[in-house]
Chains A and B, each alone.
Chain A
Amino acid sequence: MPKWSFAHEGITLTAHADTTAMTSGGFMALKGGSATQRIDVYEVYLGGLAAASAPTPALLGRSSTLGGTPTAITAPGSNEALDPATAALAAPQVAYFAASTGPQRSTTLAKLALGFNAFGGLVRWVAAPGGEFKMLGNTASLGEINIGAFTGGTPGLMNAHIHYETY
């Protein structure tokens, strides 16, 4: 099945507690394209670009409230198939980092802590086959994942990508 990369070349995550709407430009979110679409997230990378110490409590989580009316991504963001021969999807997944109302990270559902110092640090998570972070559909709470920052840090500039597979 097609593998995709949702990337941002210069994002500063905004600190948010769980179940509060994230601020546009301060998160990355990925939503399914239809009620039955499945997505497996198999790699997340955050590479620090900050010019001063920036402890960043980044989290990969599920959205208990989805973002409203996502804004189409523009440079320096991108969401493209890794294989140039990939056919267009009938119901393309939605990758975004701005919306009329930001997504809200679930308190109870699974999260992955990806904290690091964005001043020279990096964090990378790779799933084994079968151990991916799975998504289903395009509604809460299995249909959208997000990368944001928790409170208690000073998030810094970073580049980031999420690699995933749709089917």
Chain B
Amino acid sequence: MARHSLRSREGYLLIDHSASPGLEPGFMERIGLYGAAGLGEGRRFETATLTCCHCGGVVPINPMRSRPLPYCAKCDDYVCNMPRCHKYCTPFQKVLDQAEKKGIHHA
């Protein structure tokens, strides 16, 4: 698929509490969303998401992050913060292709 830039593959996450009492501080961290401070009453949170090219997971980008996002030069794409995604380069698309072949062979 043609891609114009790394950011062209960013997704979009909206959590809208404009008309809601919202969430207590720390609630989102307990289920793995960091950097989503300010999800209290009347607040609206928007951020980009990246899809890890190694595990296929979707990760919201912390809007307060100042360090560069983790990146795989071989895949020319973002990776998530999971250690195995930093250590090994096996594109998720390849994992799917291999699994599909395995499925065909075992059908």
Which of A's residues lie within 8 Å of B, judged by CB? 35-36, 38, 48, 53, 55, 57, 59-60, 109-117, 119-134, 136-137, 142, 150, 152-153
Report yes or no: B103 in contact with A137, Cβ–Cβ below 8 A: yes
Interface of A, secondary structure class, is loop
Q: How many residue pairs at the A-B interface have CB separations less than 8 Å? A: 136
Report yes or no: B10 in contact with A113, Cβ–Cβ below 8 A: no
Which of the residues A48, A115, A133 comes within 8 Å of B58, measured between beta carbons? Answer: A133
User: Does B70 have its Cβ within 8 Å of any Cβ on chain A?
Assistant: no
Report yes or no: B100 in contact with A127, Cβ–Cβ below 8 A: no
Residues from chain A with Cβ under 8 Å of B21 in the complex: 53, 117, 119-120
Residues from chain B with Cβ under 8 Å of A120 in the complex: 17-21
Residues from chain A with Cβ under 8 Å of B22 in the complex: 117, 121
User: Does B38 have its Cβ within 8 Å of any Cβ on chain A?
Assistant: no
- Given the interface pairs A120-B21, A122-B16, A127-B51, the reply to whether A55 lies near B11 with Cβ below 8 Å is no
